[in-house]
Amino acid sequence: FVVPKRGTLHEERAPRNFPAPPVPWSTRLRRWAWNLLALAAVVAVLLIGAYQVQLQRQLALTQEQLTLIKGATRVLLLQRDSTTGAMRGTLFLGEQRALFTAGPLVNLPATQRYQLWYTTATGDMYTGGIITVGADQSAQQLIPLAVPATTIVGAGLSVEPVGGSVAPTLPMVLEASWVGGQ
């Protein structure tokens, strides 16, 4: 015969569940403030990271442009035929690529674009592609060359339809001719 321990004869009672005391507004406000602060910190870190990536790309492009300028085999200065305009351009010719810079370029209607052309000593004309104009009305663009830079004797900038053209529309808005002895 086993004698039960004292207090074990009755049923065990489940613990009472009391509702949680209400959280004061000041505590709730502090929690929201910390959550918003944490969210703002995460957003700031992401934005800074994206900006850093953009700056790294811009730096790499600038270094590439400076390398091309430093090693340019020829430089063509493009000018307007008219003395009334201030538009100027420069075409730095490297071995396989060129850097075209120009400004200030006149804003064109939405149906037109600037297109760069270059000419060889044999009279063949090649497109340098559609030129993208920035918000500051300037252009800086790397261009692959279809022929060796030493064969290029002239360049021009024309106004073409949006998709470009297979031959330039005359007159050129900027023109240059090579007068060097290379």
Residue 162: the pLDDT is: 93
Name the range with the highest mean pLDDT among 45-49, 58-62, 87-91. Answer: 45-49
pTM for this one?
A: 0.67
pLDDT of residue 106: 87
Per-residue b or e along 145-174, where b marks 16 or more CB atoms closer than 10 Å to that residue's CB: beeebebbbbbbbbbbeeeeeeebeeebbb
Sheet arrangement for strand 125-131: 125-131, 112-120, 152-161, 174-177, 74-79, 88-93, 97-103, 139-144
pLDDT exceeds cutoff 50 at 48: yes
pLDDT at 72 over 70: yes
Candidates 1.10.3210, 3.40.50, 1.10.405, 2.60.40; CATH matching 74-177: 2.60.40
pLDDT digits (tens, 9 = 90+) for 86-106: 788 999 999 889 999 998 998
Question: What is the structure's pLDDT at 78?
Answer: 87
Q: Helix %, strand %, coil % for the chain, to 5?
A: 25, 30, 45
Spell out the domain ranges in the chain: 24-70, 74-177
- Over residues 133-154, the pLDDT tens digits come to 999 999 999 999 999 998 999 9
User: Could you tell me which residue, 64 or 13, shows the higher pLDDT?
Assistant: 64
DSSP character string of 100-166: EEEEPPPPPPTTEEEEEEEEETTS-EEEEEEEPP-TTS-EEEEEE-SS-GGGEEEEEEEEEETT--S
The pLDDT-based confidence of 31 (bands split at 50, 70, 90) is confident
Q: Is residue 125 within 8 Å of 172, Cβ to Cβ? A: no
Which two three-digit tokens encode residue 158? 């024309």
**Per-residue confidence (pLDDT) for residue 182, from 0 to 100:** 46
